[in-house]
């Protein structure tokens, strides 16, 4: 008995049109697949379409004896422009049969090989352009790859040059093509009657089609007027005869297929290249491994066609890129029209369909089938796509080029082109993101490409752009040359100061702030410091100036803008850094014991091992202790400057040159976040209890997330604190500040900006003062007695009086009004405003446009002054926003393990939390609830929650109780102030221990464990898990030592135990 095919309920007439986002249809379809499983049904345009996403179903519909391609939707609309071309022809169309037989030989191995030189010619144009623009140029990746692949197919297949790299704007073909693709896709979801009334849209559509057909017609006419014997695609169309019927292509078919190849021959390839470089930059280990392969196979000489078959790791990267992001993300099939099958079943009789019903294969989900690709299917792992493992994949589990007779005829062309271009680029450049925190966003027409993806290209090995072209065409490697431009930038114009390079790795902004502070201080020691990210220094660590490295660690991994540098450094051999003089300062958090300061220590050790000379011992700061800025100042004064032999003014960190303007007004906000709109802001706890809140946000267009991700919030300082600064500085509320350009600062420079904006959005007003800050405030004091009193605070009592009481520079300036510190020096003391990350407490399956966060509000008596209170910057900012307010946010991914398991139907889940650590698990459970509602059968889930009292701070109690009754999750509470209501368990780890006999078989069946809460919760749960393991081993008569228990625990942390611990 077949089972019903699930799907969202359809509306009368409109069907399921509102279940799809017209801007990003594929994202909507993938989300529906997450909700309903391997098959679901949608009614679109009055037609019931089936959507499949598993290898088992895909393997079935790829049987060409039963199923065939169906041209429908956007592809059918493209027929308005290219008729019955090879990709848009219906089954059985005569012109397709002729064109297919005539053109297949043009894509044979020898033909593709003969195109190599022309491919290389176009590729070198882009390489030379990027080299001449330099490493500061922001490259629009998809735009340049589009120009590259269009020029390549035009030259190789049709013998014409579009010369895209010699014009400012794209070739007219590109704009017309994008218009055709975009409008054809829109028409597929728009009632024809609506299109009838859209006159201007129709006019542009017709004009785009005319442009495309005109360009193709001109190319054909030019070749007919000036014939040659070149064995390319155009001559095959003009002169070729069908070996079966003796017919040639009609003029109409020639135009249709010329446009087909000009579009298909570059659009999907440019997308593949763009996704490939995104994946490589995002995954430094794969990047370095691939670059090493290219260096070993090709070296520094010219690339030849013989190299194309000798780069297996590159081909693995290409296959893995197409697995994760197939540029043609779906295709449609149907039962063969001549089939007599009745009734029609799929899935071995599991599902029944009717004849003519479209079946859409969703490649995004097919290529992530956990039964094929495992629990790490979301990760970029080229090793799984190397020749041997690739050959062992189940049939039809990798389908980016379509299926069978209707598969992509140009696959060999695209494959050679991507190998050539990628090898050429990595041979000569190093790449990094323009925005190190960039997360992949998709732009969709009928194909997909990365959206807003920009990168920088730096020439490797100090190659001089002037000599690059000679190197590209020479088989003799040239001597490497030092690029004078890169060296000269360290020295200011006409300045006698010595150069210094400061390199930082930072996600939250702390190390960047330290780097800017050090650059200002360096001026007092006779240095002109150049501040850049660590990734900018791959292959370019200078040997003619001191190099200061500042970095943090994130769960033992480098920051986003240091990942490539660390990978490059780890792969260096011998004494490659001999001659470099360096020093390292690291930032970490002691709560992450096993990875505390891992990256800074790695930098310090590896630099020395590779021959560099240490200027001073490593400096280390602990953000968990709250004193990292003072640690940094102390390291500078006692280690760094002594090591450099510098004689300077150690207190003379230069201020910021500011002009005050009270007559004009201008607002400038940070650009790394976008505006979300507050829907609601709800208090979750009872009166008198520590305040916990839940906010619902409408996300900005194009911003998406997964369960387990974070929402980064750029807060504003409390208005009371802003007014305190204005009062101290004697400024009116509408004062404007102009910060001199060229200043080492993260503040906006060179134009007026409101003092309220600077103080509210750009700096941390509550950051505790450093020892250096205290000394500088004392120096500005005109009264000797007061000066001595302030200086005393910088002495032995500094930790007690400043750090532990969290006294900020503002607290001191208010307390000692005779201190006459200039405003510019005060602002220079303040680190830039940091984003704060909160676990998202919702699921996009509930509503992809909505995200929620759940947090505790920090509002405690201030230790700095008895009458004041210490207000957490972000938590209080969020607590005050109201419905309709706009806040600045960005989605940040959590680490790979902190997401629901890939195989949710067979992998149980155990979640353990306390307080607002429940936030991500509310998202986990909400997603499960949506899936259960859709009819999916999930493995069981267990949620352990720690809180204070069942009636006062049990978060989402009614909602969770309802989900428990629906079989979505099983709940286990512990109440610290009412343990009699929780089996005597005060803490959440106590409840885990209490229920261990129930949990042991769950864990043994392959369950994944997730923990979220404070460091105390993380440590307590970890200790309990080890204790349960120890007890179980003892019961089996196999007692374990502490070392063996720890080894086991570290083992499960690699794939089955994920923790998110916060301060």
Positions marked active-site: 268, 401, 408
Query: What does the CA dihedral 459, 464, 466, 470 come to, rounded to 10 degrees?
Result: -80
Alpha helices (runs of H) in 62-93, residue ranges in sequence order: 73-82
Secondary structure letter of residue 744 according to DSSP: S
| Residue 317 marked as a ligand binder | no
Angle, helices 1015-1035/996-1004, rounded to nearest 10 degrees: 80
CA dist list (Å): 129 to 148, 166, 537: 12, 9, 21
Secondary structure letter of residue 134 according to DSSP: -
**Buried b / exposed e along 30-54 (16+ C-beta atoms within 10 A):** bbbbbbbbbbbbbbbeeebbbbbbb
Residue whose C-alpha is closest to residue 164's, from 153, 176, 151: 151
Strand partners, 660: 737
Strand partners, 975: 947
DSSP sequence for 340-396: ---SEEETTTTEEE-TT--EEEEHHHHTT-HHHH-TTTTS--GGGGSHHHHHTSPTT
Residue whose C-alpha is closest to residue 29's, from 332, 345, 357, 375: 332
Residue whose C-alpha is closest to residue 1008's, from 900, 926, 924: 900
Give the strand pairing for 1008-1014 and 1057-1062: parallel
* 1011 in Cβ contact with 1053 (< 8 Å): no
Indicate the helix (H) or strand (E) that contains 1022.
Answer: helix 1015-1035
Q: How many CB atoms lie within 10 A of CB 436?
A: 20
Angle, helices 1042-1053/1015-1035, rounded to nearest 10 degrees: 120
Residue whose C-alpha is closest to residue 700's, from 497, 887, 548, 844: 887
**Distance of alpha carbon 697 from alpha carbon 505, whole angstroms:** 31
Residue whose C-alpha is closest to residue 10's, from 48, 52, 38: 48
* 542 in Cβ contact with 580 (< 8 Å): yes
Q: How many CB atoms lie within 10 A of CB 489?
A: 14
* 158 in Cβ contact with 233 (< 8 Å): yes
Residue 608: CA atoms inside 13 Å, Cβ hemisphere, count? 12
* 269 in Cβ contact with 326 (< 8 Å): no
Torsional class of 450: left (φ above 0), alpha (ψ -120 to 50), beta (otherwise): beta
1041 burial (CB, 10 Å; 0-12 / 13-18 / 19+) is exposed
Residue whose C-alpha is closest to residue 26's, from 365, 322, 300, 505: 365
Q: Would you give the end-to-end CA distance of the chain in angstroms?
A: 55
Give the strand pairing for 448-450 and 442-444: antiparallel
Alpha helices (runs of H) in 847-918, residue ranges in sequence order: 873-880
Question: 434 by DSSP, 3-state: which?
Answer: coil
Residue whose C-alpha is closest to residue 509's, from 625, 596, 598, 587: 587
Q: How many CB atoms lie within 10 A of CB 208?
A: 23
Residue stretches of the annotated binding site: 408
* Binding-site residues from annotation for heme: 408
């Amino acid at each position: 008995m077949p089972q019903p095919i699930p799907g969202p309920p359809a509306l009368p007439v409109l069907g399921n049109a509102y279940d799809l986002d017209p801007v990003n249809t594929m994202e909507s379809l993938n989300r529906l697949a997450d909700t309903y499983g391997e098959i679901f049904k949608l009614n679109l345009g009055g037609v019931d379409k089936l959507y499949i996403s598993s290898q088992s179903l895909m393997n079935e519909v790829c049987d060409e004896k039963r199923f065939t391609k169906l041209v429908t939707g956007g592809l059918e609309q493209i027929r308005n422009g290219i008729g019955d071309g090879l990709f848009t022809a219906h089954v059985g169309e005569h012109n397709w049969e002729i064109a297919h037989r005539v053109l297949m030989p043009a894509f044979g191995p020898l033909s593709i090989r003969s195109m190599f030189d022309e491919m290389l010619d176009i590729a070198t144009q882009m390489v030379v352009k990027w080299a001449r623009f330099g490493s500061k140029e922001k490259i629009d990746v998809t735009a340049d790859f589009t120009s590259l692949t269009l020029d390549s197919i035009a030259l190789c297949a049709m013998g014409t040059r579009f010369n895209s790299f010699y014009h400012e704007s794209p070739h007219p073909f590109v704009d017309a093509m994008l218009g055709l693709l975009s409008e054809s896709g829109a028409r597929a979801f728009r009632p024809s009657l609506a299109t009838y009334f859209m006159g201007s849209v129709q006019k542009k559509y017709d004009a785009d089609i005319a442009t495309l057909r005109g360009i193709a017609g001109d190319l054909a006419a030019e070749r007919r007027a000036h014939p040659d014997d070149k064995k390319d695609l155009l001559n095959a169309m003009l002169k070729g005869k069908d070996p079966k019927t003796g017919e040639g292509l009609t003029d109409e078919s020639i135009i249709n297929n010329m446009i087909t190849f000009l579009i298909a021959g570059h659009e999907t390839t440019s997308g593949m290249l763009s996704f490939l470089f995104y994946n490589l930059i995002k995954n430094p280990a794969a990047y370095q491994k691939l670059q090493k392969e290219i260096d070993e196979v090709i070296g520094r000489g010219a690339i030849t066609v013989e190299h194309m078959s000798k780069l297996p790791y590159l081909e693995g990267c290409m296959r893995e890129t197409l697995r994760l992001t197939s540029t043609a993300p779906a295709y449609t099939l149907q039962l063969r029209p001549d089939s007599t099958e009745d009734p029609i079943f799929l899935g071995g009789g599991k599902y029944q369909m009717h004849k003519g019903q479209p079946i859409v294969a969703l490649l995004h989900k097919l290529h992530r089938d956990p039964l094929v690709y495992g629990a790490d299917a979301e990760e970029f792992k080229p090793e799984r796509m190397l020749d041997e493992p690739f050959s062992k994949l189940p049939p039809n589990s990798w389908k980016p080029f379509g299926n069978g007779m209707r598969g992509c005829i140009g696959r060999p062309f695209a494959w050679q082109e991507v190998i050539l271009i990628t090898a050429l680029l990595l041979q000569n450049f190093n790449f990094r993101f323009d925005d190190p925190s960039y997360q992949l966003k998709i732009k969709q027409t009928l194909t997909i490409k990365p959206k807003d993806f920009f990168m920088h290209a730096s020439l490797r090995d100090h190659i001089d752009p002037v000599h690059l072209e000679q190197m590209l065409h020479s088989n003799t490697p040239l001597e490497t040359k030092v690029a004078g431009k890169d060296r000269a930038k360290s020295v200011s114009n006409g300045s006698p100061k010595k150069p210094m390079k400061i390199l930082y790795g930072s996600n939250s902004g702390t190390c960047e702030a330290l780097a800017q502070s050090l650059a200002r201080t360096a001026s007092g020691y006779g240095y002109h410091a150049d501040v850049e990210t660590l990734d900018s220094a791959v292959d370019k660590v200078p040997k003619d100036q001191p190099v200061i490295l500042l970095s943090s660690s994130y769960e033992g991994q480098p920051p986003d803008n240091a990942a490539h540098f660390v990978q490059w450094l780890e792969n260096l051999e011998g004494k490659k850094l001999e001659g470099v003089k360096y020093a390292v300062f690291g930032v970490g958090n002691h709560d992450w014991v096993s990875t505390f300061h891992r990256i800074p220590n790695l930098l310090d050790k590896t630099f020395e091992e590779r021959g560099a000379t240490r200027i001073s011992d490593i400096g280390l700061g602990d953000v968990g202790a709250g004193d990292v800025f003072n640690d940094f100042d102390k390291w500078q004064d006692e280690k760094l400057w002594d090591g450099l032999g510098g004689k300077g003014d150690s207190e003379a960190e230069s201020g910021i040159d500011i002009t005050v303007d009270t007559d004009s007004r201008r607002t400038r906000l940070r650009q790394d976040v976008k505006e979300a709109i507050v829907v609601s802001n709800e208090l979750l706890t009872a009166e008198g209890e520590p305040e916990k809140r839940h906010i619902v946000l409408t996300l900005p267009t194009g911003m998406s997330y997964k369960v387990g991700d974070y929402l980064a919030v750029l807060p504003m300082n409390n208005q009371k604190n802003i007014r305190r600064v204005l009062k101290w500085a004697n400024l009116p509320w509408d004062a404007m500040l102009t910060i001199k350009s060229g200043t080492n600062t993260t503040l906006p420079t060179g134009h007026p900006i409101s003092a309220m904006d600077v103080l509210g959005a750009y700096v941390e007003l509550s950051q505790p003062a450093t020892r250096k800050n205290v000394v500088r405030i004392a120096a500005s004091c005109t009264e000797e007695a007061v000066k001595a009193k302030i200086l005393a605070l910088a002495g032995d009592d500094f930790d007690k009086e400043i750090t532990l009481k969290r006294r900020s520079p503002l607290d001191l300036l208010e307390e000692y009004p005779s201190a006459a510190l200039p405003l510019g020096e005060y602002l220079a003391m303040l680190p830039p405003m940091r984003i704060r990350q909160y676990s998202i407490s919702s699921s996009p399956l509930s509503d992809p446009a909505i995200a929620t966060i759940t947090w505790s509000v920090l509002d405690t008596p201030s230790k700095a002054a008895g009458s004041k209170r210490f207000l957490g910057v972000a938590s209080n900012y969020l607590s005050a926003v109201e419905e309709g307010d706009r806040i600045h946010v960005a989605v940040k991914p959590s680490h790979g393990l902190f997401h629901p398991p890939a195989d949710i139907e067979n992998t149980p889940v155990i979640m353990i939390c306390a307080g607002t650590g429940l936030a991500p698990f509310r998202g986990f459970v909400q997603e499960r609830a949506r899936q259960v509602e859709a009819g999916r059968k999930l493995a069981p889930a267990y949620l352990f929650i720690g809180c204070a009292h069942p009636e006062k701070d049990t978060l989402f109690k009614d909602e969770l109780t309802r989900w428990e009754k629906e079989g979505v999750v099983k709940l286990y509470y512990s109440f610290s102030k009412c343990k009699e209501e929780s089996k005597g368990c005060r803490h959440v780890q106590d409840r885990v221990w209490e229920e261990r006999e129930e949990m042991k078989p769950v864990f043994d069946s392959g369950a994944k464990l997730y923990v979220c809460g404070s460091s105390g919760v993380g440590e307590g749960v970890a200790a309990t898990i080890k204790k349960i393991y120890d007890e179980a081993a003892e019961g089996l008569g196999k007692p374990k030592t502490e070392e063996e228990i720890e080894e086991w625990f570290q083992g499960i942390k690699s794939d089955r135990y994920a923790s998110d611990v916060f301060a």
